[in-house]
Amino acid sequence: MTNRDREHELDRKLKDENEEWTRRRFMQTSAAALAGGAAARLVAPTTASAQQVDMAPGSPAKAGSLPVVVSSANGLKSRDANGLSAVEKAMAMLRDKADPLDAVIAGVNIVEDDPKDHSVGFGGLPNEDGVVELDSCCMHGPTHKAGGVAAIRNIRNPSKVARLVLQRTDHVLLVGEGALRFAKAHGFAEEELLTDAAREIWLRWKESHSDHDDWLSPKEAGLEKGSARGRIPFERTWGTINCCAVDAKADVAGVTTTSGLAFKIPGRVGDSPIIGAGLYVDNAVGAAGSTGRGEANLQNCASFLIVEFMRMGKSPQEACLETLKRIAEHTEPRLRDKSGRPEFGLTFYAVAKDGRYGSASMWSGAQYAVHDGTKARLEECAYLYKKQTGSP
């Protein structure tokens, strides 16, 4: 066989291989399209009442301004001694060229220190034994390092301890007694985190959550007139603050901190200290975090999924909505209402490294905080389901 014959034979093989690859790719794409159509039909009831997103999927997205800070709504409620909220504090530090991780942690410290916020830090609602257990994690985009603590007691600012786990250990997560010992080794002082107000709420829960125990409310004990023994409705609290930021150099960081589900089983850990669930950061893409039902988030690695959706070209808001759809699909029957919709609340917050930001909640009516360099403000979250008039 001559060299020319060999070249013709090689060209033929390459052509055949290319045609085979094209055929397979066509089959895969067609199968994916069919599966996507089936999935769309599957979740049609779930998405029928979803709010329209700002941009159609796949359309070019306009970049935002830098730096930018986003957080859950309580990032604009608590104030420090200088009158700054969490998003304002973080923005001020970014303008002073602080590292974005230091900025967001300083921001959430304001909420951790606020005894009136019963979902985070000092004054947080306790577990069922009346003990405050805190969770937190943080992640630094430029180094892709992360740190977290879970079920830590007696330490007011778990976000600071999480940063030390990131900086001073080869680990990502410390829990319980080990996390407390690590914090004390670095000079953190133990203190009682259960405030009088939080204790009163816990005692009211103990007295009212069951009519088959020996705990009596003041009314039931005869201290107040006109009361009969019986179960009193009591809404459990899911509370957290997530805060993510992009600095002027487009470096990204985030933090999430919480006292977790009120009156939880001691030792329960939600999504907040888990990288990929309560928070995820990729410096090439952006960051995402959450508040709400941690178990649903954990079962779907939702913050990681949001960042991956952004990597695929979705806007932050679109990515949050797509992730909520995924969670709605996976929700077990006992957690659905009569219409098949998840009964729990869950909200995501996301920011892209070009300054775009967005948020979406399972149900309408939620807000989130943002500071885009102009002013700090609350914005409405996109949502998957619209609350009906008179619904809780």
Residue 240 a catalytic site member: yes
For residues 206 and 221, give the distance between their C-alpha atoms in angstroms, rounded to a whole number: 14
User: With contact defined as beta carbons under 8 Å apart, do 133 and 202 qualify?
Assistant: no
For residues 168 and 159, give the distance between their C-alpha atoms in angstroms, rounded to a whole number: 14
- Look at the block and give the residue holding tokens 């960051």: 287
Q: Phi and psi for 179 in degrees, rounded to 5? A: -65, -40
Q: Which of 29, 46, 195, 240 is catalytic?
A: 240
Secondary structure string (H, E, C) spanning the chain: CCHHHHHHHHHHHHHHHHHHHHHHHHHHHHHHHHHHHHHHHHCHHHHCCCCCCCCCCCCCCCCCCCCEEEEEHHHHCCCCCCCCCHHHHHHHHHHCCCCHHHHHHHHHHHHHCCCCCCCCCCCCCCCCCCCCEEEEEEEECCCCEEEEEEEEECCCCHHHHHHHHHHHCCCCEEEHHHHHHHHHHCCCCCCCCCCHHHHHHHHHHHHHCCCCCCCCCCCCCCCCCCCCCCCCCCCCCCCCEEEEEECCCCCEEEEEEECCCCCCCCCCCCCCCCECCCEEEECCCEEEEEEECHHHHHCCCHHHHHHHHHHCCCCHHHHHHHHHHHHHHHCCHHHECCCCCECCCEEEEEEECCCCEEEEEEECCCEEEEECCCCEEEEECEEEECCCCCCC
Angle at CA of residue 283, ends 53 and 62, nearest 5°: 35
What are the residues facing 246 on neighbouring strands? 68, 252
| Residue 155 Cα distances to 123, 147, 290, 337, angstroms | 12, 16, 22, 38
Active-site residues, by number, are 240
